[in-house]
Structures are given as C-alpha cells and as structure tokens.
Amino acid sequence: MEEPRREESAYDVALRQYDAVAEKLDIDPGIREMLRHPEFALEVAFPVKMDDGSVKVFKGYRVVHNTARGPGKGGIRYHPDVTFEEVKALSMWMTWKCAVVGIPYGGAKGGVTCNPLEMSKGEKERLTRRFTVEISNVIGPYTDIPGPDMFTDAQVMAWIMDTYSTQKGKFVPGVVTGKPIPLGGSLGRTPATARGLVICIREAAKELGLPLDSLRIAVQGYGNVGAHLASILEGYGCKIVGVTDIGGGCFCDAGLDPCALTAQLLETGSIDGTPGTDCLTNDELFELDCDVLVPAAVGNQITKANAGKIKAKIIAEGANGPTTPEADEILADRGVMVIPDILANAGGVTVSYFEWVQNLMNFYWTEEEIAERLERIMTESFQAVLSTAKEKGTRLREAAYNLAILRVAEAMKLRGVC
Ligand code: NAD
C-alpha cells in the first residue's frame, strides 16, 4: 500500500528555501549545515487557571535560530495552529529578515497554542505571565528579545516586561519590544510593518512603471498589518478593492473605506458585513482583478492550487511564509513580482530595533526621526535586493536569501568555531 505523503511543515519549507540558495553560495560547509538548525529550542507545558476555576494546560515554544549577528529577535504568537515546527521556521526567517535589512540581531520566535479569541483578558494575562516565567531563562535584553505577533499586542508585551522585571527586581524595558508608549514603547511601532510594506510596494510599482495612486489592492487579514496598510495606501489614492479576515470578507470595485471596515471590526469582531460592500471569500480574494495582493494573515495561503489564478502584478508578503515554493515557481513563470516576507514585512522588526536602542539609551526619538530611519533602511534594503536579483538573474526571494545568508555566514566565520 502506498505510504501517505506527510504534509510539508513550515520548517520543511524554510529549509527548502534556505537550501536552494545556500548550496549555490561559497560558504564553509559546516557553517552551511549549522544554519539549517536552531541554536536553541524550548518546548514547555504550563497550567493556567481559567475564569470558571478549571485548570487548563497550554503548550508554548521559544526557539532561537541564530545569534551570530546579535541577540535573538522575534515575536510571540498566540494561535490555535501554533506548532513547534512552525515556530522553528519563523525563527529561521527572523534570522534572514534581520540580516537582509542589516539590523544587528539574530533570529528567534515564540508561540503558545491557544485560542485568544475565546479567552478573557484575565485568562490571557495569566497565560502570558506564566509563559514568561517558563521562558525567562532564555529571554533577556542581550540574549533574546520577544515582540508582538499574531494575536499578541502591546498589552501582552507590557505583561511580559512586568513579569520579567519583577523577577529581576529592576525595570528592564529592553527585554521586549512593541510595548505601550508609557512603558518605553517606540513612537511609530504599531504601523511600522505596514509602513515598511508600503515602501516596498511603492518601490516595486516604480520598477514596474505602475503609478502608486492608481493601484488596486487586495489584502488578506485586517489586523495590525492589514488595517494600517489599507489606510496608508488609501491615503495615497490607491483603491482597496478586497479585504478578508478570519470572519469573512468585503469587496467593493470602487474602493473600500478603511474607516468603515474598522468600525465594523470594532463592533462585530470582523470586517465581514461592512455596510455598502459585497461578500468576499478568501478564494475569491486571491483571484481578484488587482495590481497588488498583500497576504497579511497566516502562512501557506498561496499554493499551487491558486497561484495560477492570481491576477496581481505584485505580491507583497505581509505575513510570514504565505507562499509555498511550488507557488513561487508558478508565479515566477507568470512574471508576478513577489516581494518576499523577509524583506516586505521587515519594517516591524526594524522599528522594534529602534525601540530597543531607545530603551538601552533611555533616550527617546520623535515619530519623524523613526519614520525617516525606517524609510532609509527599507528603501536601501529593497534596492539592494532588487539589484542583487538583476545581477544574478534570480527572483527577489532568492536575492534576499543570498544577501542574508552571506551576512550571517560572514559573522559566523569571523567569530570562529571552537
Ligand atoms: P493580527 O493578529 O493583528 O491580525 C491577523 C489578521 O489575520 C486578523 O484580521 C485575522 O482575522 C486574520 N486571519 C487570521 N486567520 C485568517 C484566515 N485563515 N483567513 C483570513 N484572515 C485570517 O496580526 P498581525 O500583527 O496583523 O500579523 C499578520 C501577519 O503578519 C502574521 O503572519 C504575522 O506573522 C505577520 N507579521 C506581523 C508583524 C507585526 O509587526 N505585527 C511583523 C511582521 C510580520
């Protein structure tokens, strides 16, 4: 009998993407092999008292992929689908992301398998504080610095900072980024990922000769990334024609109004059913007649099943790992420009880095200073990836990996192995 084919995990995909580029590079074979593995991977199980008095056990993970260029950096995700393999993949992508934009961090990631949408604020706080205690020997301002990710926000970061600082007996704001402003958060952190994406979309549109103010945009996910992106692009004159979230989706050929979507989200928990819009499914979103498609929700959304039907000329990966390698091939053959996640969504970690620097200095910058620095880093990084792609005749993803892997391998070589 034929053996059932094991479904490919996010980590398998991350390794395939890495191997495809690394094996063509002139780097030491030992360094190349080391970069296939996380330096450190922690899996914990911990109890949380729920509001009804019962005790529920949760599984959580913290993985540090590489620290050759600096401390580990990466968000903590709360989602029912979080797995160890996914967190390992995300930690590896963080290593490449920090390297491609040249910020002095390695890669890390964390997650707890849970459904925060079904938990009260008190339950989320108890879960966060207990998880922080479980990983407190790993995280630290000079070792591994968490930040927000899917379904974690500034409040969750504040609880992590408070729990860690209480344990250490001193205020340690630099242990985590994405904090509320009064606790050492940075101005401009909340919309940073969306701002970085917009800079990449602007540069890509320029390269393809498409005027920014006439772009038609489709967005999957209307959370931190998707909602900020929609309102910034709408401000530039773009038409947001379709948006989906976990509860459904909306379409309007003349352009959706981000304020109306946000009002519906605040009232009902989803953008679905926003007045004056038509219903839209995820499948329909990916096939919309648009110039730019932005997956800004979960991984594995663009696959060989839908890649051939995508009409967008540019895909800007807001989410991490939204495109499978097979879909990448199909899109490349069809001439779609894919701005890879490790570049496209690096605005968030870049401003997280600014937040950490401000925490360590205890000296804070204006929003204009933050925006200016972000603009410079994202534009230069996009242009560096684009010229590497042109020079080597590769796609943007391979070019971004090429630059990132060489930077990490160089740091490892310079540090030496003993
Ligand atoms: P968020 O929790 O604020 O929002 C997630 C959005 O995705 C929500 O609108 C949710 O309804 C939607 N969603 C979830 N599952 C979905 C599904 N199956 N179909 C359609 N929509 C779905 O998260 P976020 O911070 O906006 O992050 C979104 C993505 O961007 C994640 O993949 C995250 O890893 C990535 N990312 C975020 C940042 C950041 O700074 N927030 C930085 C880099 C990358």
Q: What is the pLDDT of residue 160?
A: 98
- Among protein residues, the one whose CA lies closest to atom 32 of ligand 1: 319
pLDDT digits (tens, 9 = 90+) for 314-338: 999 999 899 999 999 999 999 999 9
Every domain of the chain and the residues it spans: 39-173, 192-339
| Most distant CA pair in the chain, distance | 66
What does pTM read for this prediction?
0.95
Q: What is the pLDDT of residue 417?
A: 83
pLDDT digits (tens, 9 = 90+) for 105-148: 999 999 999 999 999 999 999 999 999 999 999 999 999 999 99
Going by C-beta distance under 8 Å and a sequence separation of 6 or more, which residues neighbour residue 144? 62, 64, 67, 71, 72, 73, 108, 138
Residue 3 has pLDDT above 50, yes or no: no
By most ligand atoms within 8 Å of CB, the mutation choice from 149, 155, 266, 320 for ligand 1 is: 149
Residue 397 has pLDDT above 60, yes or no: yes
Q: Which CATH class is domain 39-173?
A: alpha beta
Tell me the average pLDDT across 382-404: 97
264: its two tokens? 């519906």
> CA-to-CA distance for 161 and 182, rounded, in angstroms?
13
118: its two tokens? 């079904």
Q: What is the pLDDT of residue 8?
A: 82
By most ligand atoms within 8 Å of CB, the mutation choice from 93, 124, 145, 150 for ligand 1 is: 150
Task: Return the H-helix or E-strand segment holding 339.
Answer: strand 337-339
Query: What region does 161 belong to: left with phi over 0, alpha with psi -120 to 50, or beta?
Result: alpha
251: its two tokens? 């379409």
Average pLDDT, the chain: 96
Phi, psi (rounded to 5 degrees) for 74: 170, 150
Confidence of residue 1 (pLDDT cuts 50, 70, 90): very low
- Among protein residues, the one whose CA lies closest to atom 17 of ligand 1: 246
Same fold? 39-173, 192-339: yes
Q: What is the pLDDT of residue 356?
A: 98
Task: Return the H-helix or E-strand segment holding 155.
Answer: helix 154-168
pLDDT digits (tens, 9 = 90+) for 222-259: 999 999 999 999 999 999 999 999 999 999 999 999 99
Residue 306 has pLDDT above 50, yes or no: yes
List beta partners, residue 279: 250
Q: Among the atoms of ligand 1, which is closest to the Cα of residue 346?
A: 43
Q: What is the pLDDT of residue 6?
A: 55
Residues acting as catalytic residues:
109
pLDDT digits (tens, 9 = 90+) for 11-40: 998 999 999 999 999 999 999 999 999 999
By most ligand atoms within 8 Å of CB, the mutation choice from 224, 306, 374 for ligand 1 is: 224
- Among protein residues, the one whose CA lies closest to atom 5 of ligand 1: 223
Q: Among the atoms of ligand 1, which is closest to the Cα of residue 352?
A: 40
Tell me the average pLDDT across 193-218: 97
In angstroms, what is the span from residue 322 Cα to ligand 1's centroid?
11
Q: Domain 192-339 maps to which CATH number in 3.40.50.2300, 3.40.190.290, 3.40.50.720, 3.30.750.24?
A: 3.40.50.720
Going by C-beta distance under 8 Å and a sequence separation of 6 or more, which residues neighbour residue 362? none
Q: Which of 111, 85, 103, 120 is nearest to 11 (CA)?
A: 85
In angstroms, what is the span from residue 382 Cα to ligand 1's centroid?
22
In angstroms, what is the span from residue 335 Cα to ligand 1's centroid?
27
> CA-to-CA distance for 115 and 25, rounded, in angstroms?
41
What is the CB < 6 Å shell around ligand 1? 148-151, 193, 220-226, 244-246, 282, 296-298, 318-320, 345, 348
Tell me the average pLDDT across 74-101: 97
Q: Among the atoms of ligand 1, which is closest to the Cα of residue 178?
A: 40
